[in-house]
Structures are given as C-alpha cells and as structure tokens.
Amino acid sequence: MVRISSQQIFSGGINRMQDINSDLVKTQQQISTGKKVNKPSDDPVAAARILKLDQNLSRLETYQRNADLADNRLKQEESALSSAIDIIQRVRELTVQAGNGSLSANDRKSISSELKERLGQLADVANTRDASGEYIFSGFQGNSPAFVKENGSWTYNGDEGQRVLEIDDGVTVPISDHGKGIFGDVPAEVFVKSATQEDGFITGLEVVDPKSLAAVFDPKVPDDLRITINEPSPGVYEIEGIYDDRNTPPVNLVTSPIPFQGGEELEFAGIKFTLNDVADNKSFTIGINDKQSIFGTIETLIAGLDNISKDSPKGNAEYDALISESLANLDNGQESILLKQTEIGGRMNAVESTSAFLDDSALYAKEIRSQLQDVDYAEAISNLSFQSFVLQAAQQSFAQISRLSLFDRL
C-alpha cells in the first residue's frame, strides 16, 4: 500500500503544470520567432548543423561581395580602356590627315593643337579613379596618379603591382592592371634612333618579313642595329647588333663588308631601308626591339608637327618617317589595349560563373537551414492549441483534486 501525502499531491500537480506550461511557452516562442531551434537545448544535433550552415553562408556572402567588387572594378577598367581606344583612334585619324603632303604649316599646327587636347584626355583616362578614390592604373600606389607630367612629358608614376581578390576557396582573380604595361611598355615600330652625320639620312625603313627578323636574331634579339659606313658610295657597310644590357657585347651580324651604291634600297633580316647622302666612318642606329609609351608617341608626333621643316629632302624624309612610325606605334598601342580588354573579358566571365556558383551554393545552404530551423506554423499552432487545452485541463483537475480530504470520508 502506497501512502500519498497532501504535499506529494500538490508537488506533483504543480510540476505537471509547469512542464506543460514550459512546452506551451516553447511553442509560443517558436511561433513568434519563426524558428524551431531557438537555443541549442531545443535540438543539439540540429543546432550544430545550423551553426555550421550559418558559418558557410557567412563565408559565401563574403565571397559574393568580393565577386561583386571584382566585377565592378573590371567593368570600370574595361570602360576606361574603351575610352582610351576611342581617343587613340582619333589621334590616328589626325595622324593620317597630317600625312597629307598638301597641308600647310598652319594646318599641321592646327592638327597639333587637337592632338594636345587628345593627349590630355588620354591622361585623364589613364588616371581614372574607382569609387573609393583610388587610381585604378597605379598598381599598388592607388593614392598616387598613374601618370604625371614632368618636364613637359607624361611619365608613369605608379608601380607594377597587380591587385587580386579571392572570390571562392582557392579562386583568385586580378582586379587591376598597372598603366605601365598598358600604356607604357608597348612594342615600338622599327625606327631610326640616331645618326652621327648631319647630311645623311635613312628613308623607306620598314619590316617586310617579321619571321626573318626573329630567325636571324634567335635566341636573343638585339635592341638596336648599328650600321657603320666604311667607305662612301660606291663602298661597303657593316652591321652590328647592340644590346641595352651592358653585360652583353655587340654582335657582328655581317661577317664581310657588303658593297652598295648610295641611294640603293638594302635589306637585312627582313628590314628594308635606303641610306642617303652617306659619308665614310659614320653610323646610323636603328631601334628594332624597343618599347614605346603611347604618351611618348603622341608627344613626339606633336613635336614633329610643330618643328620639322619640309624644305629639304632630309626634312621630308624625317617627316614621312615620323608619320609612318607614329601610325605603326599607335596601332601597336591599340592592339596592346585590345589584348588587355580581351584578358579582362576572360576575368569577367570567370567572376560571373563563380558568382552564379556562389548564389546556387547559398540557396542550397539556406534551404537546408530552413528545413532544420524554420517552424511549421500549421503544426506549431495546432500544438499550441493542444497544449493550451492540456494545461487548462490540468489546472481544472488539480483544482478538484486539491479540495479532496480524508475528513470528507469520516
């Protein structure tokens, strides 16, 4: 026989009502927050998985922000380069116009004036800033302009750094390109660099066979060709390959003197040229492996339009060479920018595909988290109604039982 005291009856009844009320409060909290798991004790296994999913979603959101930033930076750079191509194209049109032999000196100066304006526009494009105010073509020196004007010439002021962003685990994408590589280190057309005589000059300089040029100088192409006149026409000349690297000695490219007539068109390693009014023991230097700045090309063109006189055969030859070299260098500059635009397009495609993958991954993680965490309102409201009914019944039954006494049976 089990004896139950009045204290046990009251304690049991109160504990039961507290348990029911606790379940009722838990259900009310789930409905108010929309979450099944509001603290780890609600479901330890689900809570651990939800925490891991939250961490993964936070990581994905960070990568997505990086991807958006990378996309914006690349679009801005691509837009700036498009503007640069438009400016260079206009400069090229003006250069072609300047090559018209019927132009007067005033006409050339008028073209020169517009070229100066276009040069300023190109500098503005090269000094484009992003939304945070940093110069996008300055490498790591974002607080400094990419190009500055020193002693009347535009020079590169940044470094050769390239910024990258991580847009997924182990996936990085460059988001900048330094201006030196885009605007400064552009292959230059073959051109006459210097001559040690006043009267002699070179005309008709052109590369007719680039493959031959590369084959002759394989494996290391010299920076310049030095043509030395041993005897005047009819006479001989010799050719040496000169390297900017002082540790590399000149290379004698012609083993025996070659006879020639003054004014005769000559060809060597796929390069054609004509020596005019030459004298013995004099030399010419032809640049064949140089780099040029697009800014420098336009500045040289402006200076030539303003200063070169066409009153002599040498002046005419110098002016024609200026136009020819400028056009070739401008074409090389446009090609350099177009190649960079193609590269940027590839990066933008990579960012777009990665961004789509991040969106899909985030959506999947949110769906899994929703299954673990989000409350089923229909089920929760049904539970709440049932728990309210049970609590009410427990309260009523406890009230009835608490009034019972053994003295009622005496």
State pLDDT tens for residues 322-348. 888 889 889 989 999 999 999 999 999
Q: Which of 102-116, 135-149, 194-208, 309-323 has the lowest mean pLDDT?
A: 194-208
Whole-model pTM above 0.75? no
Return d(Cα 282, Cα 262) in angstroms, integer: 14
Query: Once rounded to an integer, what is the mean pLDDT over residues 360-364?
Result: 90
What integer pLDDT is reported at residue 80 of this predicted model? 95
- The residue whose two tokens read 């996936």 is 171
What integer pLDDT is reported at residue 129 of this predicted model? 93
What integer pLDDT is reported at residue 136 of this predicted model? 93
Residue 90 CA to chain centroid, in angstroms?
Answer: 25
Quote the radius of gyration of the chain (alpha carbons, Å).
41
Give the N- to C-terminal CA distance of the chain in Å, as an integer: 20
Q: In which band, very low, low, confident or very high, does the pLDDT at 237 lie, cut at 50, 70 and 90? A: confident
Task: Report the mean per-residue pLDDT for the chain.
Answer: 79
What integer pLDDT is reported at residue 48 of this predicted model? 80
Residue 16 burial by Cβ neighbours in a 10 Å radius (0-12, 13-18, 19+): middle
Between 323 and 235, whose confidence is greater?
323
Is residue 126 within 8 Å of 179, Cβ to Cβ? yes
Query: Once rounded to an integer, what is the mean pLDDT over residues 207-233?
Result: 72
Write out the two tokens for 276.
């005019």
What integer pLDDT is reported at residue 116 of this predicted model? 94
E strands present in 34-132 = none
Is residue 232 within 8 Å of 208, Cβ to Cβ? no
Beta bridge partners of 224: 242, 287
> What's the number of CA atoms in the CB half-sphere (13 Å) around residue 245?
8
Three-state DSSP class for residue 347: helix
Closest listed residue to residue 299, CA positions, set 149, 173, 401, 404: 149
pLDDT tens across 259-303, in order? 666 677 777 777 888 777 766 667 788 877 778 889 999 998 999
The residues near 261 (Cβ < 8 Å, ≥ 6 apart) are 233, 234
What integer pLDDT is reported at residue 81 of this predicted model? 95
Between the alpha carbon of residue 191 and those of residues 180, 197, 253, 323, the distances in Å are 21, 17, 19, 11
What integer pLDDT is reported at residue 56 of this predicted model? 87
For residue 152, the tally of other CB atoms under 10 A from its CB is 7
Handedness of CA 341, 346, 349, 354 (dihedral sign): negative
Is residue 37 within 8 Å of 50, Cβ to Cβ? yes
What integer pLDDT is reported at residue 314 of this predicted model? 74
Task: Give start and end residues of each alpha helix (H) in 217-312.
Answer: 294-307
pLDDT > 90 in the chain, percent? 33
Between 292 and 83, whose confidence is greater?
83
Write out the two tokens for 347.
């990066």
121 pLDDT more than 90 = yes
Is residue 221 within 8 Å of 207, Cβ to Cβ? no
Q: Which of 185-189, 223-227, 309-313 has the lowest mean pLDDT?
A: 309-313
For residue 26, the tally of other CB atoms under 10 A from its CB is 18
CATH architecture of 40-187+291-374: Up-down Bundle (1.20)
The residues near 266 (Cβ < 8 Å, ≥ 6 apart) are 260, 272, 273, 274, 275
